[in-house]
Amino acid sequence: MKVSVIQMVSTTDLQVNLDSAHALLRAAAREGAELAVLPEYFCLLGHSDTDKLGIQESFGDGLIQRFLGDAARELDLWIVGGTLPLAAPPDDATSAGGTGRVYNSTLVYAPTGQCVARYDKIHLFRYDNGQERYDESRVLMPGQEPVVFELPSRDGHCWRVGLSVCYDLRFAELYRAYARGGVDLLLVPSAFTYTTGQDHWEVLLRARAIENLVFVAAAAQGGRHENNRRTWGHSMLVDPWGSVIAERAEDPGVVSAELAFARIEACRAQLPALAHRVL
């Protein structure tokens, strides 16, 4: 199955970002991709964290959701919509400071244009090195459940795909739960900071692939943004042995590779570590 991860440098303008995403999805389709993955916050990286509240949508309809469904149908692609802000129930959407909060959600669209899966980011990023400060819990509600969807590919296999987002990558137990559930491919749409990305991004992605003997596809934000934020990029595809099979360092673009189900089977036969689990 050919998979494309899409790297973006999203702006503070929703329509500009949707136009950019469409051009990159079209390029992935031209390369023969069956599955294309957009990065976290593909639709908006605002001047402040609260900007995402202004474009939030109710699950089931909205400009961003219609864009994703229409693109999947038009391009005959499975599309994983990075993340977009989905409204939380009114009783849950207010923080202690009185500011509304939303879910940071990944939506999956089949080539029919139908939304077939939703994952709300579970782990919310917080970081403070004295110069850079982030606290996603100020505007985001955490999700509660891992989510798997099935993708019947042209190669005759039905791939089980596990969903995660960015900071989730640091929590190995989420991915081990996916492995126990028979997942073959892990998706990690992200907007890693440049500071943390240069030290941890690749090693974490490769570790998740190695320890679970699965493919990992990570679509990232990668470059200097209009809001002066810098993201690490290095969107990549990693095989079950931990080898990086395709990568893009910075700037917008499409990273594609053919993922062979036989590679998973071979790695698991050589090193049946999943069968040796004790705990």
- Structure confidence by residue, pLDDT tens digits, 3-23: 999 999 999 999 999 999 999
Cβ-in-10-Å burial (0-12, 13-18, 19+) of 277 comes to exposed
| CATH number of the structural domain spanning residue 231 | 3.60.110.10
* CB contact at 8 A, 134 and 142: no
Domain count, the chain: 1
- More confident of the two residues 160 and 98: 160
CB atoms within 10 A of CB 223: 19
- Structure confidence by residue, pLDDT tens digits, 85-113: 999 987 665 544 445 899 999 999 999 99
pLDDT at 95: 47
pLDDT at 100: 85
Catalytic residue among 43, 52, 115, 166: 166
Percentage above 70 pLDDT, the chain: 97
Say if residue 155's pLDDT is above 70.
yes
The pTM (predicted TM-score) of the whole model is: 0.96
Catalytic residue among 34, 40, 57, 136: 40
On average, the pLDDT of the chain sits at 95
What count of Cα atoms within 13 Å lies in the side-chain half-sphere of residue 134? 15
- Annotated catalytic residue 145: no
* CB contact at 8 A, 237 and 245: yes
- Annotated catalytic residue 52: no
Catalytic residue among 121, 136, 250, 267: 121
- Structure confidence by residue, pLDDT tens digits, 221-273: 999 999 999 999 999 999 999 999 999 999 999 999 999 999 999 999 999 99
Domain span including residue 208: 2-276
- Annotated catalytic residue 43: no
